[in-house]
Amino acid sequence: MKKGILMKAICALLLLTLVVTGCATDVERLDPTEITDLSGKWNDTDSREVSEEMIKDLSTRPFIGIYAAKLGHKPTVIVGNIRNLSSEHIQTSTFIKDLERELTNSGRVIFVANPYERNQLRTERKEQQDWARPETRKQMRAETGADFMLIGSIKTIFDTENRTTVKFYQVDLELIELQTNEKQWIGSKKIKKQVKKPFFRW
């Protein structure tokens, strides 16, 4: 009798251990540059690769050298609105930061702050006029104006049959001269993914 109760208690304890172990969260650190696709949705890898390829294409175009000679300095660029016209929730702010990083690191253009950042900087300069030592104050109304604005959009097309979905992403970017509204560069990058759902899911 006691032996049977003991065996049941041991089995219950083992079962409880298995349940607790199975429910525990498993965390694994990954290399940020490693390609990871869990759901097939737009992710950090897509954002990074698209920004790198498109800015690389932009920075090798001859118009940059032409405008640098015309202006007497590297063209100044600001990133405008990147519209999410896809059917997914995409953090365009992350993609914009990737574009800004690649533009700055290209060394071919001068990159200036976006409207949100400018508001913070203007507030700081205004505060300096009242509170900072005269020799350290930064001058008001001495900002560098942008020569070009980079704008664009992200679109998607999905095609699904049974358990298979093909996801097509298209990113379009345009570099527009602010003075004339002339489009000096148009770039497009396409990504295609096939996602197969399993027969059974836990």
CA distance 109 to 193: 33
Each residue's pLDDT tens digit, 20-69: 555 556 666 656 666 677 778 899 999 999 999 999 999 899 989 999 99
CATH of the domain at 61: 3.40.50
CA distance 80 to 89: 19
Residue 61 included in any domain: yes
Residue 8 included in any domain: no
Each residue's pLDDT tens digit, 83-120: 999 999 999 999 999 999 998 899 999 989 998 999 99
Residue 154 included in any domain: yes
The tokens for 53 are 């390829």
Number of independent structural domains in the chain: 1
Structural domain harbouring 146 = 39-196
Residue 177 included in any domain: yes
Residue 10 included in any domain: no
Residue 62 included in any domain: yes
pTM equals 0.79
**Percent of the chain whose pLDDT exceeds 70:** 80
User: DSSP state, 88?
Assistant: S
Residue 21 included in any domain: no
User: H/E/C letters for each residue in 8-33?
Assistant: HHHHHHHHHHHHHHHHCCCCCCCCCC
Residue 22 included in any domain: no
